[in-house]
Amino acid sequence: MKQNTLVHHTIREQIATHLRREVFSGQLAEGDVLREQKLAERFGVSRGPIRDALLQLTKEGLLVARQNRGVWVRERPHETIRPLVVELRRQVESFALETIFERIGPDDLLFWEENLEHFRNACEKGNMGAVVEHDMAFHRSIVEKVEDEGLLAIWLPIVTHMMLPYSRHQSLMESYGEHRGIVEAIEAEEREMAVKGLKDNIQ
C-alpha cells in the first residue's frame, strides 16, 4: 500500500484537507461561517473547487449547509452521545485492523514509520495543524487498506464527530507514544496488543 500524507490528487482534496485540519486544530471554531469568495481568494482558485470541497466536508459531517444561510462549522455533538461515537469508531477501526492484519506488508510498515516521524516532529513543535493531518492519515490508512469504500464512508462522519480531543494529554508526545506503540505491536505481530493499543488511542 503506497500512500503519502502530503500528496493529494485534486485541488478540491487539497482545499478540503486544509479546511479539515483547521477545524480539528481549532483554527476554525464551531459556528464559523465559510464564504466561497473569501476562500477562493485565499487559495487562489475559482469558486468551483471551493464549492466542491465544502460539499465534501458537509457530507463528512464537519460542516453544515443550509439554503440561503450559507455554510458553517458544525457544533460538537452533545457530550451525552460521545461514548456512543467513541465506541462506534473503536469498532470500525479495530474491525479494519483485524481484517488487514495478516496482509500487512513492508510498504505499510514503511508508510507508518514515515508517518510517525512526521507526527513526532509536529508534536515536538506543537504544530496542531500538522498533528491533526498525520494523526488522521495514520487511522485512515488502516481503514483504507480494507479496500471497501463503504467502510470508509461509515468511518469518516464518525471521526469528524469526535473532533480529536488532544486536551486529554498532558503533552502531544503522549499521543505520538500511543501511535508508536500500535506500530511496534504490529511489527511484532502482536495482534491483540495492536488492537488494544488502537482502541485505547480512541477516546
pLDDT digits (tens, 9 = 90+) for 28-39: 988 999 999 999
Residue 102 per-residue DSSP state: G
The residue with greater pLDDT, 128 or 110, is 110
Domain's final residue, options 56, 73, 90: 73
E-strand spans in the chain? 33-34, 63-66, 70-73
Domain's final residue, options 26, 43, 73: 73
Please tell me whether residues 25 and 57 are part of one structural domain.
yes
Report the run of H or E that residue 165 belongs to, with start and end: none
Please tell me whether residues 137 and 54 are part of one structural domain.
no
Please tell me whether residues 92 and 65 are part of one structural domain.
no
pLDDT more than 70, % of the chain: 92
Predicted TM-score (pTM) of the model is 0.80
- pLDDT at residue number 8: 46
Please tell me whether residues 91 and 175 are part of one structural domain.
yes
- pLDDT at residue number 102: 96
**Dihedral, CA atoms, 190, 97, 147, 73, nearest 10 degrees?**
-140
The reply to whether 169 falls in a domain is: yes
User: For residue 178, what are the contacts with CB-CB under 8 A and spacing of at least 6?
Assistant: 197, 200, 201
Please tell me whether residues 110 and 160 are part of one structural domain.
yes
- pLDDT at residue number 82: 86
- pLDDT at residue number 152: 92
The reply to whether 134 falls in a domain is: yes
Q: For residue 24, what are the domain limits?
A: 11-73
What digits encode the pLDDT tens for the residues 119-150? 999 999 988 888 888 998 999 999 999 999 99
Nearest by Cα to 101 from 180, 184, 189: 189
Please tell me whether residues 54 and 115 are part of one structural domain.
no
Domain's final residue, options 19, 41, 73: 73
Number of domains in the chain: 2
